[in-house]
Amino acid sequence: MKILRIGALGITTHRRTFAVGLIFLAVLTAVFIFALTMGKADITVLDSLKAVVGIPVGAPGDFIVGQVRAPRALTAILVGATLGLSGAILQSLTRNALASPDFIGITMGAGTGAVLTMSLVSATSLWITAAGATVGALITAGLILALSWRRGIVPLRLILAGIGIGFVAQSTTQYLLTRMDVHDAGTALGWLVGSVTGRTWTHVTVAATVLAVLLPIVLWHARALRTMEMGEDTARALGITVGRSRAILAISSVLLAAAATAVTGPIGFIALVAPALALRLTRNAGVTLIPSALMGALLLLTADQMSQLMPADLQFPVGIFTAVIGAPYLLWLVWRASRGGPS
C-alpha cells in the first residue's frame, strides 16, 4: 500500500485514502449543487452559487437559494460531518462498530437536555438549546461511563449501559413533553423527529462554529487515537499519554454529537454507518477521521435530497429516512456479531 506524505504539514496518509477522500469531496460538491438547483423554481447553477455567497441574483434566487436551499444543504453537510466524526472517534476509542452516539444513548441524552431547555425557556434561541443539549449529552455520557467502568472501558458493558440510559433519557423526554406548554411541546415534537427542513443561517453558524473548534482538537489527537487502537499498553509504551488523550477525544465526540442534535434534532444512523463505510472504501487500517466526516456529510445531504424527491404525500423528515437506510446495516452488524465474527 502506497503512502502519501504531504511533507510541509507532516500529514501522512495512504494514497488510496487520499484519493477516496477526494472522490467523496467531488461527489459531495455535485450533490450540493444538485441540492441548490433542483426544485420547483428554475435557477441556474451559476446563479445558485452566487446566491450562496450572497451576491444578489434577483428575486427567486436570492430567497429560494440564499435563504432556503443553501442553509438547508449546508446544515445537512455540517451536521452529517459532525456526526460522522463523532461516531468515528467513539467507535475507535471502544474498538466497537456499535458504539456510536445515537446507539449508546448520547443523542437521546442531548435530546432530553434540549427539550428540557425548550420547556424552561419558551421560544428559546438555538444557542441556548445547544447548551441544553450539551449538558444533557455530557450527563448521559458521565452516567454511561460510571455504570460501565471496570478498571477501564469494557465496550460491551458500555454499549449495554448506553442502550439502557438511552431508554431512560427517552422516557424522560416523553414525560417532559406531557408537562410542557402545548405550543412548546409542538415545537419540541417537531424538533425531536430529526430534520434539516427550514434550517436557517443561524443553524449553519452553530454547526460550523462547533466543527471549527473541535475538528482541529480532534485531528491534533488523531495519532494518539490510532495508536490507542493497538491497546492501552502499546499506546503508552509508544509515548502516548493515554488518559489525557482519551478524555479529550471522548469529550470531543460527545460535544460533536450534542451540537449536531441541537441543530437538527436527533438523527440516527449517520454516526453509526459513516465511519464504517469510510473504513471499507478507504481500506484504511484503523480509524480514518476526515473520510468519516466527509462520508457523514454525503450521507445526510443525499438522504435529505432523496426524501425531497419522494412524492409529496410520502415525504418524511430525513431522520426517518436515515433510519430506513441504517436499520438494515445495524441488523447485519448484529447478525455478524452473533456468528462470532469481529465486531
Partner 1 sequence: MSRLEAQHAVIGYGDKPIVRGVDVTIPDGKITAIVGPNGCGKSTLLRALVRLLEPTEGAVALDGENIHRIPTREVARRIGLLPQSPIAPAGITVKELVARGRTPHQKVLRPWSSTDETSVMSALHSTNLTSIQDSVVDELSGGQRQRAWIAMALAQDTPLMLLDEPTTYLDISHQYEVLDLLHRLNERQGRTIVMVVHDLHQAARYAHHVIAMCDGEVAAAGDPTTVFTESLIRDVFDLEARVLPDPITGTPIVVPAHGPGGTQ
Contacts with partner 1, residue ranges (CB under 8 A): 1, 5, 7-10, 12, 95, 151, 220, 223, 226-227, 229-231, 233-234, 236-241, 283-286, 342
Q: CB nearer to partner 1: give 249 or 259.
A: 249
CB of 54 to partner 1, least distance (A): 34
Chain-centroid distance of CA 183 in Å reads: 28
Residue 10: CB atoms within 10 Å: 8
Q: How far is the CB of 16 from partner 1 (least distance, A)?
A: 11
Min dist CB 27 to partner 1, Å, is 23
Q: Smallest distance, Å, CB 88 to partner 1?
A: 14
13 CB-near residues (< 8 Å, 6+ apart): 3, 4, 6, 21
Instruction: Give me the least distance between CB of 276 and partner 1, in Å please.
Output: 12
Q: Which is nearer to partner 1, 11 or 46 (CB)?
A: 11
How far is 237 from 119, CA to CA, in rounded Å? 50
- State in angstroms the smallest separation of the CB of 342 from partner 1: 7
Smaller CB separation from partner 1, 129 or 245: 245
Question: Is the Cβ of residue 30 or residue 238 nearer to partner 1 in the bound state?
Answer: 238
Nearer to partner 1, 157 or 236 (CB): 236
Closer to partner 1 at the Cβ: 157 or 223?
223
Q: Is the Cβ of residue 166 or residue 275 nearer to partner 1 in the bound state?
A: 275
- Tell me, letter by letter, the H, E, C secondary structure of the chain: CCEEEEHHHCEEEEHHHHHHHHHHHHHHHHHHHHHHHCCCCCCCHHHHHHHHCCCCCCHHHHHHHHHHHHHHHHHHHHHHHHHHHHHHHHHHHHCCCCCCCCCCCHHHHHHHHHHHHHHHCCCCCHHHHHHHHHHHHHHHHHHHHHHHCCCCCCHHHHHHHHHHHHHHHHHHHHHHHHHCCHHHHHHHHHHHCCCCCCCCHHHHHHHHHHHHHHHHHHHHCHHHHHHHCCCHHHHHHCCCCHHHHHHHHHHHHHHHHHHHHHHHCCCCCHHHHHHHHHHHHHCCCCCCHHHHHHHHHHHHHHHHHHHHHCCHHHCCCHHHHHHHHHHHHHHHHHHHHHCCCCC
CB neighbours of residue 233 within 10 Å: 9
Residue 122 phi, psi (nearest 5): -65, 145
Q: How far is the CB of 106 from partner 1 (least distance, A)?
A: 24
Comparing CB distances to partner 1, the nearer of 170 and 343 is 343
Q: How far is the CB of 18 from partner 1 (least distance, A)?
A: 15
Task: Provide the minimum distance between the beta carbon of 308 and partner 1 in the complex, in angstroms, as a whole number.
Answer: 37
- Which residue's CB is nearer to partner 1, number 1 or number 123? 1
